[in-house]
Chain A
Amino acid sequence: MENEKQEFTITVYTENQVGLLNRIAIIFSRRKINVESLNTSPSEVPGIHRFTIVVVESREVVLKIVRQIEKQVEVLKAYYNTNDEIVWQELALYKVLSDEITEKVKVERLLREFGARAVAIRKDFIVFETTGHREETNKLMEALAPFGLVEFVRSARVAIIKESAGFHEKLKDFEKSEPGLELVENEYLGQRGNVFTM
């Protein structure tokens, strides 16, 4: 079922450059692909940025997109992973009226059940935070809805690739004028066989 649509998380290591976000974004918009979630942040390597992009697409399309992303001059490397290949979290904030919380025991139980943490407590409202997968943060949102959920917001996905050894060593290799195979290589070339350079 290679061509069935599913969630893919694309991780892109880039130089920290003005305009790069747009260069990456237009690769999706050109093909009229909706980005489900997008996060940019520093990576484990100083000066190197890390994009985490979630799309629902077929593997074939994702493969082509990743190649186009990697082709951008200031992109060092792009990976794509299915959900079982990554560990990921999203953070959600919920604003609830204080009266509702203090008066209704059920709400308290709910918050406890979902492991929500209060990050701001005021006389008129309280802001809670949870982290988890989308279904988890969604559930609390749905549960709170009847009790006057004033505001809800969820962050983009951040994800760690289970198999990844990080980017420190790779970056050193990139800085050489004759980098090793693993870097020049896109993963889709396969891990087979010998290599030689001219």
Chain B
Amino acid sequence: METKQLTGSQAVLEACIAEGVDTIFGYPGGAIMPIYDALYDYMDKLKHVLVRHEQGGIHAGQGYARTSGKVGVVFATSGPGATNLVTGLADAMIDSTPLVCITGQVFAHLLGTDAFQETDIINITMPVTKWNYQITDATEIPQILAKAFYLAKTGRPGPVLIDITKNAQFQSFDYEGYTICNHVRSYRPKPIVRKEFIDEAVQLINEAKKPLVIFGQGVILGKAEKEFKAFIEKSGMPAAWTILGLSALPTDHPQNVGMLGMHGNYGPNVLTNDCDVLIAVGMRFDDRVTGRLDKYAKQAKIIHLDIDPSEIDKNILAHVGVWGDCKETLPLLTMGIEQKDRTEWLNVFAGYAKEEYEQCIHEEMHPTAEALSMAEVIHAVNEITKGDAVMVTDVGQHQMVTCRYAKFNQTRSNVTSGGLGTMGFGLPAAIGAKFGAPERTVIAVIGDGGIQMTLQEFGTIMQTGVEVKVMILNNEFLGMVRQWQQLFMDKRYSFVDIASPDYVMLANSYRIAAAKVSKREDLVDAVTKMLAHKGSYVLEVMVGKENNVFPMVPQGCSVSEIRLK
């Protein structure tokens, strides 16, 4: 076989090309300079987005992965560059986002000597990566990167970090080409589907009078949206979502009964404790979804579909654990279940939805108060986008409101930090989301707290010209914490009063068009103008200072104790 000489750095970039990578988010520095030097010659094949902070880089990688369904690739240097990735790794780990992060490292002979910008990133990131590995010899690069991409995207996806010492980046070696990895002997991406559990699940569903399907991001990660829809439609079952499952099923689907959990919809929460069979698809019974565990769906038989065996029985004991890729298991269930009409059961949900609308949603969407509500802002967006936009959110009240009220027609449209709840995620993730889905409108909805955590990424927007619509919902508070202080801590507003810069001026200084709106009569025009504008746009919307998000399942309460006000 003919071989050619490549440097380790070139081999890294060849691997990216072979894996179909088109965009890399990164930030150069001393220990990764050889790779950046090689990148100079690869500019026509690989797009590199220079971010303003490595955390911004990794969140952008996450946003990219979420909208595109591909692996997000992030470059950072050693030491602080690498440690700045940690929050994003933890976020990607808990939200199962496929990433390959490549960090530079000091020369191999300096390892362990406290060299300049040396940090033990392998051990630091061990709990927050699906896999990580340090390369000190360039000959390992093709095979290790192939393994990295394979591990990141298969099974339950997750972040992988590869740390490459500077000498390995410089080192020339006989390059024998790149072979895509499709097997690692110690790694089983998905369990084998067992027929008897499918049969047991089918029987439970067929016998059920009041089945409820709850679904998470597994449906999206498994690219099983069609299979999921066929499954619920055949048996006419109501389906409710976790915030990471949102957009896997169109919002206006007649069997979509809404959001689960702490700020979810009334019906799905109350009826979780009334259904007779609960079918969980690709979700992990997070405490924000279940509320108090010992009062969660005690009356129901539980069927749990998951690709990760360690999720079954972790929080909720499943009567039937259907292990496997839901792309395979859902059609098997669909084949077995009987065609049913469950209008009566769906009407129970409709009844709760009506009550929720009257007691809560109506006032949110059409407030009598002078101040704008977050819900009416999202409603105004819906009216124009008709549910076709990608909605990226940060963390807090605005996130809950956006997830509750935004409309979605297609999958991979909701990008948010679910498990980790990372404030500062929104802006960089929106940049990545747009690179991942360039043909779509990307709207970032961010609070006045979160935007100030990563607003340096306005610089990335400025320089790349990426088109992101940023809506800052400004209530002049760290709203979610304030809401808890109001409800559970006697209104002792401890350090939640947060001041903001002039966002319009700030955006303009980054040469981004911007406007501010605070009156109801100007809202629709302002949103229309933002969406019609060619290029990025920042719209600051002043909303009610002390508005709360309801319904709410108070912590320590059962989901059926959800409060409407």
Q: Is B80 an interface residue (CB 8 A)?
A: no
Stretch of A73-81, A85-93, A119-127, A149-157 on the interface side = A73-81
Measured CB to CB, the closest approach of chain A to B219, in angstroms, equals: 18
Contact status B188-A179, CB under 8 Å: yes
Stretch of B192-200, B444-452, B517-525 on the interface side = B192-200
Contact status A184-B186, CB under 8 Å: no
Closest chain B residue, CB of each to CB of A77: B186
Q: What B residues does A68 contact at CB under 8 A?
A: 310
Q: Is A30 an interface residue (CB 8 A)?
A: yes
Q: Is B177 an interface residue (CB 8 A)?
A: no
In the bound complex, how far is the Cα of B337 from the Cα of A55, in angstroms? 44
Q: Is A35 an interface residue (CB 8 A)?
A: no
Contact status A189-B186, CB under 8 Å: no
Measured CB to CB, the closest approach of chain B to A134, in angstroms, equals: 31
In the bound complex, how far is the Cα of B327 from the Cα of A61, in angstroms? 30
Stretch of B122-130, B267-275, B351-359 on the interface side = B122-130
Q: Given B122, B131, B132, B193, which contacts A197 in the complex, CB threshold below 8 Å? A: B193
Q: What A residues does B188 contact at CB under 8 A?
A: 179, 183-184
Q: What A residues does B309 contact at CB under 8 A?
A: 67, 70-71, 186, 189
Work out how many contacts link A and B, with CB atoms closer than 8 A: 73
B interface residues, tally (CB under 8 Å): 30
Stretch of A15-23, A110-118, A138-146 on the interface side = A15-23
Contact status A71-B308, CB under 8 Å: yes
Contact status B194-A23, CB under 8 Å: no
Contact status B185-A194, CB under 8 Å: no
Q: Given A22, A73, A189, A192, which contacts B187 in the complex, CB threshold below 8 Å? A: A73
Q: Is B1 an interface residue (CB 8 A)?
A: no
In the bound complex, how far is the Cα of B314 from the Cα of A189, in angstroms? 14
Q: Per-position contact with B for A168-187: 1 when CB-CB < 8 Å, else 0?
A: 00010011010101011110
Q: Is B497 an interface residue (CB 8 A)?
A: no
Q: Is A33 an interface residue (CB 8 A)?
A: no
Q: Is A104 an interface residue (CB 8 A)?
A: no
Contact status B196-A194, CB under 8 Å: yes
Q: Is B151 an interface residue (CB 8 A)?
A: yes
Q: Per-position contact with B for A5-18: 1 when CB-CB < 8 Å, else 0?
A: 00000000011001
Residue among B127, B192, B308 having the largest count of chain A Cβ atoms under 10 Å: B192
Q: Is B465 an interface residue (CB 8 A)?
A: no
Contact status A15-B310, CB under 8 Å: no
Q: Is A195 an interface residue (CB 8 A)?
A: yes
Measured CB to CB, the closest approach of chain A to B318, in angstroms, equals: 12
Q: What B residues does A75 contact at CB under 8 A?
A: 186
Q: What B residues does A105 contact at CB under 8 A?
A: none
Measured CB to CB, the closest approach of chain A to B470, in angstroms, equals: 36
Contact status A74-B308, CB under 8 Å: no
Q: Is A193 an interface residue (CB 8 A)?
A: yes
Contact status B127-A30, CB under 8 Å: yes
In the bound complex, how far is the Cα of B131 from the Cα of A175, in angstroms? 20
Q: Is B532 an interface residue (CB 8 A)?
A: no
Q: Is B191 an interface residue (CB 8 A)?
A: yes
Q: Is A198 an interface residue (CB 8 A)?
A: yes
Q: Is A64 an interface residue (CB 8 A)?
A: yes
Contact status B193-A73, CB under 8 Å: no
Contact status A174-B186, CB under 8 Å: yes
Q: What B residues does A160 contact at CB under 8 A?
A: none
Closest chain B residue, CB of each to CB of A196: B195
Contact status A196-B123, CB under 8 Å: no
Decide yes or no: A64 and B195 within 8 Å by CB, A26-B127, A175-B185 being known contacts.
no
Contact status A184-B123, CB under 8 Å: no
Decide yes or no: A194 and B183 within 8 Å by CB, A26-B126, A67-B309 being known contacts.
no
In the bound complex, how far is the Cα of B282 from the Cα of A32, in angstroms? 28
Closest chain A residue, CB of each to CB of B329: A198
Q: What A residues does B131 contact at CB under 8 A?
A: 73-74
Contact status B192-A195, CB under 8 Å: yes
In the bound complex, how far is the Cα of B199 from the Cα of A192, in angstroms? 13
In the bound complex, how far is the Cα of B332 from the Cα of A197, in angstroms? 11
Contact status A198-B323, CB under 8 Å: no
Q: Given A23, A64, A171, which contacts B310 in the complex, CB threshold below 8 Å? A: A64
Q: What B residues does A14 contact at CB under 8 A?
A: 186
Contact status A19-B130, CB under 8 Å: no
Contact status B195-A193, CB under 8 Å: yes
In the bound complex, how far is the Cα of B130 from the Cα of A185, in angstroms? 20
**Quick one: which of B115-170 are within 8 Å of A by CB?**
122-123, 126-127, 130-132, 134, 151
Q: Is B182 an interface residue (CB 8 A)?
A: yes
Q: What A residues does B310 contact at CB under 8 A?
A: 64, 67-68, 70-71
In the bound complex, how far is the Cα of B185 from the Cα of A179, in angstroms? 9
In the bound complex, how far is the Cα of B449 from the Cα of A1, in angstroms? 49
Contact status A73-B130, CB under 8 Å: yes
Contact status B194-A195, CB under 8 Å: yes
Q: Given A22, A74, A194, A197, which contacts B123 in the complex, CB threshold below 8 Å? A: A22
Q: Is B328 an interface residue (CB 8 A)?
A: yes
Q: Point out residues on A near B: beta carbons under 8 Å.
A: 14-15, 18-19, 22-23, 26, 30, 63-64, 67-68, 70-71, 73-76, 171, 174-175, 177, 179, 181, 183-186, 189, 192-198
A-B contact pairs, 15 of them (CB 8 A): A15-B186, A18-B134, A63-B313, A64-B310, A64-B314, A70-B310, A71-B309, A73-B130, A74-B131, A74-B187, A171-B185, A179-B188, A189-B309, A194-B194, A198-B328
In the A-B complex, the 6 residue pairs with the smallest Cβ-Cβ separation, listed nearest first, are: A193-B196, A67-B310, A177-B183, A174-B185, A73-B131, A76-B186
